[in-house]
Structure 1
Amino acid sequence: RGSGLPGMSVAWGLWAQDSGMTGHLGRVDRARLARAGIRPMATSVALELFDVALAAGQATPVAAEIDLPALRAQAGDGLMPDVFEGLVRLPVQRRNATSGTAAAGSDLAQQLSTMDESGRRELVLTLVRKHATTVLGRTDPSAVTPARPFKDLGFDSLAAIELRNRLVTATGIELPATLAFDYPTPDSLAQYLRERLQPAAPPLRPAAILAELDRLETALSTMASEEADRPLISARLISMVAKLAQTQTPDKTDVRERMDTATADEIFDFIDKEFRQS
């Protein structure tokens, strides 16, 4: 074509009739294509499109039968490929996909923050199983057992990418393309997502720590002196106090270095403070 000679490469959609390129496609693969808005073409329709492509005179025409309602559903979920954006009117949340995804992740994180560990595990695992069920073209999430590897469930690389894309939209966090291979079971994947969605708790302020110590002191005062666990609790408390004292003890090497570089006034000030502390 660049030299002015005739040439054309047709980018074919899915033919309904099996061929060497499509004969290996199973139920999961065809369901994925259907969700993406690609419908299988009858041979007669495909041949008509071939005639249209010849007449169009373009170098790389696309000959495919597109399911517009399916594309709109993909767009609504934030999953429609950009190449199809000119075919359907995008919903507001798709036009602003970044903020929409972030908002979804924020809502999920907020929901998790109000739950205990058991509830968080159940919620995220349910989310993973729901999207895995959709990717597999099934309707019953109970078929996606938590400990069963995705590979055994029927996942291939394309299914793994679709699951990752769906979870990015649902959680609002960036996830690696190798997600389903790095965390090969629904259970391990859910645990990873929980860790990503739940930020580490901020360190307690001194007032909060003192309040916890007050509660601990009250609890210890009600403990019977003959309880079998008393020595274990005492040893644990002694260990905690020792660690706390250790963090407050200045490092001898650091003190020596400071003394070597200190002025006379700084040395006398240091000695004076030490005597007053004693």
Structure 2
Amino acid sequence: QSQPLDFFVLFSSATSLLGSLGQGMANYSAANGFLDGLAHYRRTMGLPGLSIHWGAVSQVGRAIGRDTETAAMLSKNGMGAISPAQFLESLELLMSSSDVEVGVVPIEWSLWQERVAQWPFLVDWQETILEVAQPSKSDFLLKLEATPPNELRLLLVAHVRRQVAQVLRISHPESIEMDTGFFDLGIDSLTSVELRNKLQGSLKCSVPSTVTLDYPTLKALVEYLYEQLLLEQVSYSNTVPTEEINEDREEITL
């Protein structure tokens, strides 16, 4: 706990994420569930922590390398194996992200859905898929569509500033400066995820989990959302005047 570590990576199992049959596997799932909880606990203390739910690994994995029957059973249930190369690529990607708990499991969803259609565990997941398939516009997006093009950035600044203030419990959003770093304001891995979820919910678009690392200030985040996401969501003329934010007064300059 007192060592200045850059990484603290725990190798958990997909069994603690998706479950498995049998008392022995239940104990195994519980043991790996402890690792998941430890990663979250460390993050709440401001320490590095990442727990990865690995699926079966081919050639060298416990379930594949020693038991061909297990491999056949996994395939029948719609689950595949991770190659060693994919394993290392996934590990490198996840270690550079801000995620706390992630599953890496090759799944053929058509087969998997048939098998677990009655699982209460996945009821919320199924509802989420339906929601994604039939998205509805948020109140903010409707307001954005009714806003003149030359006022869009200013509206977005106010919206993102409010979201940051809410996750950090800041009572006066206007006190958040455009160039102040989010981590200087107190954002950590948990509030970063909360901010990302708020932005995804209000903008109805995908926001990367590393958004506060990649765009660590209000100004950088607004520019990213405006240029990469909102232009795809809002229907108006393809010709939009180039705008710049006056950082002191937040006025639009054409």
TM-score bracket relative to the smaller structure: 0.3 to 0.5
Greater share of residues in helix: 1
Taking structure 2 as the reference length, the TM-score comes to 0.41
The structure with more radius of gyration: 1
